[in-house]
Structure 1
Amino acid sequence: MSTEDNRTWNPVEWFEIYVTDMDRANAFYGDVVQRDFTPAPMSGGDMEMWFFAAERGAEGAAGGLIRHPMRSPNAEGTLVYFSVDDCAAVTDRAVAHGSDVVVGKQSIGEMGFIAIITDSEGNSIGLHSWR
């Protein structure tokens, strides 16, 4: 485990969520999980990438939305969980964008609550909240 400035880094450093329609995905994630994006400087050619806003040393993992012909969205791959204020409220916003609810808000005991939904591109994503 590496440390910098006496901090232990999250073992997950980077994630990519594959999309086919970047505008639609930006609208979905911007409204549903209420996160800002920045176009990546390495976008170009067949690839387009937008980063979730993050700062080095901040808690959590960094990542982004990626459009690339070599990777397609799907509902059966790795599940990324987003930290949200309330899984039920976020699920309602997602449904308004056409999402399917895979697992509605449910308690996971002392660890809070989770829900699993589909995004605008067909990926499954997890939601975690403490209330």
Structure 2
Amino acid sequence: MMKNVINWFEIYTSDFNRAKQFYKDVFKCDLIDIPMNSDRHSQMQYALFRKNENKFDLNGALVKIDEAKPGIGGTLVYFATEEITAELGRVETAGGKIIRPKLDLGEFGFIALIQDTETNLIGLRSEK
């Protein structure tokens, strides 16, 4: 059995609560706040993704920390979706923006690009 090469991601935020609400609304998933107790991380906010309604594992977190800023130009993460159209339909209502609509990649499935409320560029990918 092959494992995914990418096993964790962090999406950086400037408005932590706004970002959490965006991801909850678009992906219908829960996020769990993880308290950061050390003095070194006193300004850090961290929330882990839980499985969404489609039961996809989202192995990562939303993070607010002074050392890393959100925005286009960083790492591009693609979220697996059952069918991209559903998530795309919730993006603008949740405060995001559709950057590239659903694109057919033939035998490799479909992708789309969206911008979250923190100006991060993220991808969506589905088989159909």
TM range (shorter): 0.7 to 0.9
Q: Which amino acid aligns with 1:89?
A: A
The correspondence for 2:98, drawn from 98, 101, 105, is 101
Note the C-alpha offset of 1:73. Answer: 0.4
Cα distance in 1 between the residues matched to 2:46 and 2:110: 30
C-alpha contact (below 8 Å) 2:111/2:125 kept by paired residues: yes
Is 1:118 paired with 2:115?
yes
CA RMSD across the alignment: 2.1
Q: How many residues align structurally? A: 122
Structure 2 residue runs of 5 or longer lacking an equivalent are none
Q: Which amino acid aligns with 1:40?
A: I
Task: State the partner residue of 1:88.
Answer: 85
Task: State the partner residue of 1:33.
Answer: 27
| TM superposition score normalised by structure 2 | 0.84
| TM superposition score normalised by structure 1 | 0.82
C-alpha contact (below 8 Å) 1:39/1:51 kept by paired residues: yes
Task: State the partner residue of 1:16.
Answer: 10
Note the C-alpha offset of 1:84. Answer: 1.3
Cα distance in 2 between the residues matched to 1:61 and 1:13: 9
Q: Which amino acid aligns with 2:23?
A: Y
C-alpha contact (below 8 Å) 2:49/2:58 kept by paired residues: no
Cα distance in 2 between the residues matched to 1:42 and 1:10: 28
Cα distance in 2 between the residues matched to 1:14 and 1:98: 25
C-alpha contact (below 8 Å) 2:12/2:69 kept by paired residues: yes
Task: Summarize the Cα distance change of 1:53–1:98 in structure 2 as closer, same or farther, 3 Å threshold.
Answer: closer
